[in-house]
Each structure stands twice: as C-alpha cells, then as structure tokens.
Chain A
C-alpha cells in the first residue's frame, strides 16, 4: 500500500506501457514548452511570434490575449483599458469557458512544472505531513487581492505574483524572481503538498471561477469498473474533485464538475480500468 501510494502509476505502466501511462503528462510538458518557446523565439532568435507575456500578449500582430484576473484588478484600480486588451479579454474568457479555466494551470502556467517537480520529489523522498490549510484559502486570497487593488489603486498582487514573475523573468530577465520560485518549490516540497497551486494561488482560483460552467470535462464512463486502487487520488493535484463523480455521491453524474479540476489528464493515464476520459459536459448525461 505504501509503495503503491509512493509510486502511483506503476500498475498502469505494467499494464499499458510507459508511453500510454504518461501520454497526457508528456503532452502537457510539450504544450508548456511550446507556449514558452513561442514567447522566447523573439528575444532568443529574433523570430517574433508572440510579444508580451502571460499578462497580455500579441501574437503575429493580430491576436491579443489578456489575463482576465489582471485586467479585473486594473478595472478595480479605476483604470480603463484600450480596445485590444478588451478583445484579448473576451478571447481568453471564451476560450477557457470552453476548455476549462484551470486548463491554464496545467497546460500553460510556468509554475506548474516547478510545483509538479516539488510534488514528485516529495513522494520520492517520502516526505509526509505538513501544514493543513483549507483549499478554500485561495478564494480568500483572491478576494483580498481584489480588495487591495480597489483600496490602493494599484495592481498590488503583481508585486509578488509568482506566476507572472516567473514567466516575465524567463522572457524579459529574471533578476531575483528565481528566489520567489525557489521559495514556492521548497514550500511545496517540505511544508505542504500541492501547497501553492492547490491552496493559495489566486490566479488559479480566478481561472476556476471562469471555468465554473466549462464544457471540456473529465468523464467517468466506466466508473463501475473502479477497483479502488487509489492511483487517481495519488496523482491528482486537486484530489477533492474526483470522489463525488467517482462514487456518485449525492447522485453526482459521472463527470468531474468541480471547477478546480485542471484537466491535466493524469487520472486518465494512471487508471488501468479506463474509468476516465476527456469528454464534453452534455446535459443528457448530467441528468443521469
């Protein structure tokens, strides 16, 4: 049991082979790298595809993309953005309403590989326990950032936001931002499992609100086949999202509807019973 918890996915590797057991993880890493390279090809090779950073970017001089959380803070600080920022806002919000807000966290955010590494190392080193703080803390922090933006008239969270700090650091020059990222890494490694992304980050919290009614979901078409091996719980960065859908608690449909599911797909590939799969949230199965 202990061994299984520490090495989740071992059964999947034995049953389906290595590649099939890590396909979504590999895809995510490739996606994260591609996103970063699109931003870096300009400053590194003079090939300008995407300008800016995750806060606001302009692709091939036609496509604006705006971070909705950041723009909301600017609005609360009393500032009216220009047209491109609003177009970018609409595109990003619509996109994440379709694919799921926290897709940002697992497929785009540069902090994800850092905290994933911390979590992997934590399991490898057998580090257990640590602080117990509610996962709802992120919403409190989110509220606090909005209050502070309103009260001070500044986008205060940007002073400390590890997400934009790391991405800006990689694209525009790191400075001491690395220290903040190391702090997040060490916190997740020693103090709290899935600490930053799973409990505190207001960026992720905001994206979860956008993805509240999103269409792309993890579905559990074969949830009856579950043999309680617990591998999906072990790999899931937001464990609380699985149980209602898997166990049908309070008549829950076999779809993960919790907005904090990041659609990372790890549960799909570690399950040897093929319980999980990507699918659309459709009303026909929801009513089941």
Chain B
C-alpha cells in the first residue's frame, strides 16, 4: 500500500490543510483586529484631538502613537489613550474640562508630529479646528437665566468672533435683557477654554469633536440674502421696494416716521427699475 503517488497526494493534502488552517486562524484574528480598529475611529465626545489633527478616519492611519506631541506640549494637557479607553489605543487627546488647549502661537505639538497626523500645514493656531464649542444647556447657563456671567465670552481667545453675546428680551420678566452666548463655528478653534471656565457644576458650554457638533445644509441649499448680495440684486423675482399706503403727499422713513413728501422730481407713472434677472433682455 506504500504507493509513492498516494503518499505524495496525502502530503499535498496535508500541506493544503495546514495552509487553510493557518489562513483561517490568522484571518479571524485579522478580522477581529480590523473591526476593533474601525470601531475605535469614532472619537468619544469628551476627547478632543490636538490642533491640526486629520479627520478621525484618517488620523488612526497616520498617527504612529509615539507621544511626541504629548512631550512637546508646554502645558502638559495631552494624554495617550490607554487600551481600556474607547478610542484608538495610544493616540493623543485632551479633555477640555480638565485642561484646555492654550493655543500656543508656534504650535509645538504639530511641529513634533513625525507623520503629519497633526497636519504641518497648520501654521496659524487661530485657524485650528480641534472641535467646536456648543452651548448645550440653556436651562443652566447663567446668562440664559438672566445673569451677566459672561465667563465663556471673556475667556475665549477669539473673543467677539468665536463667541458673541446676543441681547434678547427676557421673556420671563418682560423688561430685562438676557445676553445669550452664541458660538460661531467659523472662528471657534475648539480649544475648550470656555468649557474649562464655565462656573456651573457641570459645564453648560462644552466642546465636542466637529463631527458631533456641526450640522451641514444640503448641498443644493442657497441663502437668498447671500446670493442677492453676490449678484448685486435679486435673482428670483421682481424685488420691488415696499410701499406704504399713506395719505397723498406723505412719506414714511424707517426710524423717522411720517413726513410730508418733497415735490415730485420723477415724472408720474414712471416704471420701477427692472430686477437684475430681468434686465438685458435675457428672458
């Protein structure tokens, strides 16, 4: 029965079986590790990446977990994620409520990064987008309650741009003003100073990773007033100036009230100017 052909065949079968076993075992391991890594690309809400960090899905491919940014941060705010934390193990983050980013002008953490996980093209710290502050709790924000706390507004490194105080009527008293802190995403760097400084037990203003904090209009949306300004005139319909029904010979001016009309200079019955879109015979 010692057929050499047969033993050759069984050796081949053995080889194939071993290879298949190895491929399956290691394949399972790879699948597990891959899924684990993909899950960890969603940043937990309290963890903010250092300035210049690539979007989360790219960050975990670029960051080699060396901790150079942690070492070169002069304020020692950065940590490397530990294995039990729900993010990519060994990647850097800070928690704004504990210690916010001090927004160094020379951005040493970005300079220290050897891989570009922190984007070296970021040279102006005011342009960084670490996250976005959100006034999450209108019920406990002291300014909303009618006080002039204003702390978030005062500590903001981009004061009057990233956070403004918008006066609104206090509907409760009917005669006071509340100064509502409003965050403007265009200028907010996500440094977290407002969250750190918020005096309430739990911060009413918090910084979140951008993907959580920012909405986005559908691509086809246009803001009429923006388009109008761009075009220098209304694009969609005859944009006729509003006229008041006034007694003859009177006029009304916003802020001034009624007054008598100066003698007419334009011939009566003149056509109002055509809106931009209808000019030039383009219809």
A is bound by B? yes
Contact between chains at A155 and B60 (CB < 8 Å)? yes
Contact between chains at A74 and B90 (CB < 8 Å)? no
Contact between chains at B67 and A171 (CB < 8 Å)? yes
CB contact between B64 and one of A80, A155, A171, A179 (< 8 Å): that residue: A155
Does B227 sit within 8 A of A, measured CB to CB?
Answer: no
For A, the interface residue count at a CB cutoff of 8 angstroms equals 58
Does A137 sit within 8 A of B, measured CB to CB?
Answer: yes
Whole-angstrom distance between the Cβ of B50 and the nearest chain A Cβ: 15
Given known pairs A79-B58, A134-B22, A140-B23, the reply for A160 and B67 (CB within 8 Å) is no
Q: Chain A residues with Cβ under 8 A from B84's Cβ?
A: 175-176
A-B contact count (CB 8 A): 164
Does A227 sit within 8 A of B, measured CB to CB?
Answer: no
Docked complex: A113-164 residues within 8 A CB-CB of B: 134, 136-137, 140-141, 143-145, 147-149, 151-160, 164
Does B37 sit within 8 A of A, measured CB to CB?
Answer: yes
Whole-angstrom distance between the Cβ of B66 and the nearest chain A Cβ: 4
Contact between chains at B61 and A149 (CB < 8 Å)? yes
Q: How far is the CA of A56 from the CA of B62 in the complex (A)?
A: 13
Q: Chain A residues with Cβ under 8 A from B60's Cβ?
A: 153-155
Q: How far is the CA of A201 from the CA of B13 in the complex (A)?
A: 28
Does B126 sit within 8 A of A, measured CB to CB?
Answer: no
Q: Chain B residues with Cβ under 8 A from A111's Cβ?
A: none
Nearest A residue to B19 via CB reads A140
Q: Chain A residues with Cβ under 8 A from B29's Cβ?
A: 141, 144
Does B158 sit within 8 A of A, measured CB to CB?
Answer: no
Q: Chain B residues with Cβ under 8 A from A102's Cβ?
A: none
Interface string of A160-190 (1 = CB under 8 A from B): 1000110011011111110110000000000
Does B127 sit within 8 A of A, measured CB to CB?
Answer: no
Given known pairs A51-B71, A137-B22, A154-B37, the reply for A81 and B83 (CB within 8 Å) is no
Q: How far is the CA of A173 from the CA of B85 in the complex (A)?
A: 13
Nearest B residue to A140 via CB reads B26
Contact between chains at B116 and A148 (CB < 8 Å)? no
Q: Chain B residues with Cβ under 8 A from A66's Cβ?
A: 64, 114
Q: Chain B residues with Cβ under 8 A from A155's Cβ?
A: 37, 60-61, 63-65
Q: How far is the CA of A48 from the CA of B72 in the complex (A)?
A: 11
Whole-angstrom distance between the Cβ of A179 and the nearest chain B Cβ: 8
Q: Chain A residues with Cβ under 8 A from B116's Cβ?
A: 79-82
Docked complex: B64-123 residues within 8 A CB-CB of A: 64-68, 70-72, 79-80, 82-85, 88-90, 112-117, 120
Does A77 sit within 8 A of B, measured CB to CB?
Answer: yes
Contact between chains at B68 and A51 (CB < 8 Å)? yes
Q: Chain A residues with Cβ under 8 A from B148's Cβ?
A: none
Whole-angstrom distance between the Cβ of A250 and the nearest chain B Cβ: 20
Nearest first, the 3 closest Cβ-Cβ pairs linking A and B are: A175-B82, A77-B61, A156-B37
Q: Which residues of A pack against B, CB within 8 Å?
A: 42, 48, 51-53, 55-58, 64, 66-67, 70-71, 74, 77-82, 84-85, 88, 134, 136-137, 140-141, 143-145, 147-149, 151-160, 164-165, 168-169, 171-177, 179-180
For the A-B complex with A52-B67, A144-B33 known, give 18 more contacts whose Cβ atoms are closer than 8 Å: A52-B66, A56-B114, A58-B114, A79-B62, A81-B64, A148-B33, A154-B60, A154-B88, A155-B63, A155-B65, A157-B33, A160-B33, A160-B36, A164-B65, A168-B65, A168-B67, A175-B85, A177-B82
